[in-house]
Structure 1
Amino acid sequence: MPGFIQITDTHIVAPGKLVCGHSDTAEALRRAVETINAKLPVLDGIDCVIVTGDLTDHGTPEEYGHFAKIMADLVLPWRAVPGNHDRRDAMRAAFSDRPWMPEAGPIHWLRDFGPFSVIALDTLLEGAHHGELCTEGFAFFDATLADLGDQPVVLATHHPWMHSGIPAMDADNLHNGAALLERLEAHPGPVRMLSGHVHRAMTGQIGRVVCQIAPATCHAVLTDHRPGLDAQMVLEQGGFTVCRWIDAPGSGLVCDVIASGAFLGPFSFQE
C-alpha cells in the first residue's frame, strides 16, 4: 500500500560548519539518506520523502545548495514546506524547478496517495520562531478539504499545535493552530496532523485528530518539563518516520520511527 517517509529539521549549514559548534547536521542528513536508500527494498509502497521544514539553519542560498547536494543521493523524489529557520524566497529560488513549488506566495501543496491525501501548509512567519498560518493558507486548506470530500487527510506542517510538555518549544508552536484543528475536526473523513520543530518523536490526540511530531535527522531538544528554561540541544541519534497506509485489520496510516545508521542484525529469534 502507498506511503511516504517524513524527515524534518535537517538544519543544514554551510559545508564544514557545525550548528551551535556541536551538531554535524550535514553528516546526519547523509546518514539518513543512506539509511533510507538501504531500507527501501523492504519498505513496500514508499514513493517519496516529505520534509517538514527547517531544511537549513539560516535560510541562505549556500545552505540550500548544500541541502540539495546531499539530497541528490536520495533515490526517492522529495518535496518540502519551510520551517522557522528557512527563508521562503531563498527556498523558492533554490527549488524553483520542482513541480510542487508554487511560483509565488506561501509554499503550500497537495499530494494524492490514492487512499489518502497529504495537504502540506507553510506555517513560516519570517522573523519569528513560532508559526502562523496566513489567510491565504486557511483559504487553500478550506478549498482543498472541500475538494477531497470524505477522503482521509494527513496535514503536514513544520509547527505543531499539540503541546510537547517542553515549555520553551510549546511557546513557539503554531499560534493559530486551534482554528486549523477545528477544520480538521469538521472533515468527514479520517484526519491526522504530522509536524516537526520539536526535534523529538511524540504522539498526542486533540479531539479526534491524532497529532504526531517527528524526530529530527540531527540533534534533539532535551526533554525538560521545567518552566522558564531555554531549550537545550542533545546529540541523540537522529531518525525519520515511515508512514504507510495499511488496509487490515482496518484502514489507516501506520507510522514507524526508524533510527538513522547501520546496526547489528537482523538475527533470527530462533536460537
Structure 2
Amino acid sequence: MSSFIQITDPHIVAKGALVCGRSDTATALRLAVATINDRLPLLEGVTCAIVTGDLTDHGTPEEYAHFLEIMATLDLPWLAVPGNHDQRAAMRAACAGASWLPAEGPIHWQRDFGPYSVIALDTLLEGAHHGRLCAEGLEFLDSALTALGDQPAVIATHHPWLPSGIPAMDADNLHNGAALMARLEAHPGPVRMISGHVHRAVTGQIGRIPCQIAPAPCHAVALDHRAGRDPGLVLEPGAVTLYRWHEVPGPCLTSTLLPLGRFSGPWPFD
C-alpha cells in the first residue's frame, strides 16, 4: 500500500508573530508534525507528506526559514506546491536542492506511488488571491496524463475548483478550473482532485471526478454561506489528511482526517 499525508495552508509567519494577531500557526504546524510522527508507526506505507500551498503567510525568506525549521522535524520526506500567500522565487530559493523542485518556472511535479501517481500543479497567480493554471501547467498535465495511460491519477493543487459554499472563497478559487476538469474527464483511468485554500474539509464530485478540499492545521475559514460576507478566521481544531491505497475489495484511494494532538484510548470494546 502506498500512502501519503496532505498538509495544507500552514501559513507560517515570523517567529513570535500570529496570523491576524490571533492564530499561532507555528505551534499548529509543530503539533501537526508531532501528530504525524506519533501516528506513523500505526500507518503502514506512508511514504511522504504533500504540502498543498500557503507554506507561509507573506512569502518572505524569514517565513520560509521558519517553515523549514519546523518541517525538519517531520519523520517523512515532503513535497510542496505554492499557494496564493507564497512567493515563487522565495519558495524556490528556500527549497533549493529539493528533488521535486523544477529549476525554473512554475512549480509543477509528478510523483509515482506505484498503483497511482500524484500530479501537482502550481496555481499561484502572484498578486491575486484566486488561482489560475498557466499554459505551461496545462501542457505539463497533458503530458503527464498521456504518459500514465489508464493508470489512476491524483491531481494536487492549492486552489480548488470544487465550491465550498463560502461565497468569498469560491470567488477566489481556480478561475480556469473548467479547462483542468475537461482534461481530467478525458483521462481513461480514475482521477481525484485534492486541494487546500479553504482551511476546512469539503468533499464533492464534479462530473465523474471526486474532489476534496482539506482542512488546515491552524485556523479555518468561518462556515458562512451568506452572500456579501467577508471571510472570517475561526480557531477550530486543526487536522491533516491521510490518503491510503487499497487493493481489496477493489483498487481505490481512501482519505481519513487525522485530528491534531493525542487523545485518550484506545480502549477495548467490552
Q: Please indicate, yes or no, whether the TM-score normalized by the shorter chain is above 0.5.
A: yes
For 1:7-156, list aligned pairs within 5 A.
7-156=7-156
Structure 2 counterpart of 1:190: 190
Secondary structure at the counterpart of residue 138 of structure 1: helix
CA RMSD of aligned residues (A): 0.4
Write the distance in 2 (CA, Å) between the matches of 1:199 and 1:16: 22
- Give per-residue Cα distances to partners, 1:8-44, cap 9 Å, x unaligned: 0000000000000000000000000000000001111
Secondary structure at the counterpart of residue 215 of structure 2: coil
Q: Aligned pair 1:264/2:236, yes or no?
A: no
Write the distance in 1 (CA, Å) between the matches of 2:255 and 2:17: 32
Write the distance in 2 (CA, Å) between the matches of 1:124 and 1:13: 19
For 2:231, the aligned partner's letter is A
% identical aligned pairs: 69
TM-fit CA distance, 1:257 = 0.6
For 1:128, the aligned partner's letter is A
- Give per-residue Cα distances to partners, 1:115-139, cap 9 Å, x unaligned: 0000000000000000000010001
Write the distance in 1 (CA, Å) between the matches of 2:134 and 2:247: 35
TM-fit CA distance, 1:264 = 1.2
Write the distance in 1 (CA, Å) between the matches of 2:82 and 2:40: 26
Runs (5+) with no aligned partner, structure 2:
none
- Give per-residue Cα distances to partners, 1:90-143, cap 9 Å, x unaligned: 000000110100000000000000000000000000000000000100010001
For 2:10, the aligned partner's letter is T
Structure 1 counterpart of 2:231: 231
Write the distance in 2 (CA, Å) between the matches of 1:267 and 1:129: 45
For 1:134, the aligned partner's letter is C
Runs of 4+, deviation exceeding 3 Å: none
Structure 1 counterpart of 2:178: 178
Write the distance in 2 (CA, Å) between the matches of 1:125 and 1:218: 23
Write the distance in 2 (CA, Å) between the matches of 1:132 and 1:93: 22
For 1:65, the aligned partner's letter is A
Write the distance in 1 (CA, Å) between the matches of 2:98 and 2:248: 35
Secondary structure at the counterpart of residue 6 of structure 1: strand
Structure 2 counterpart of 1:205: 205
TM-score, length-scaled by structure 2: 0.99
Write the distance in 2 (CA, Å) between the matches of 1:154 and 1:189: 11
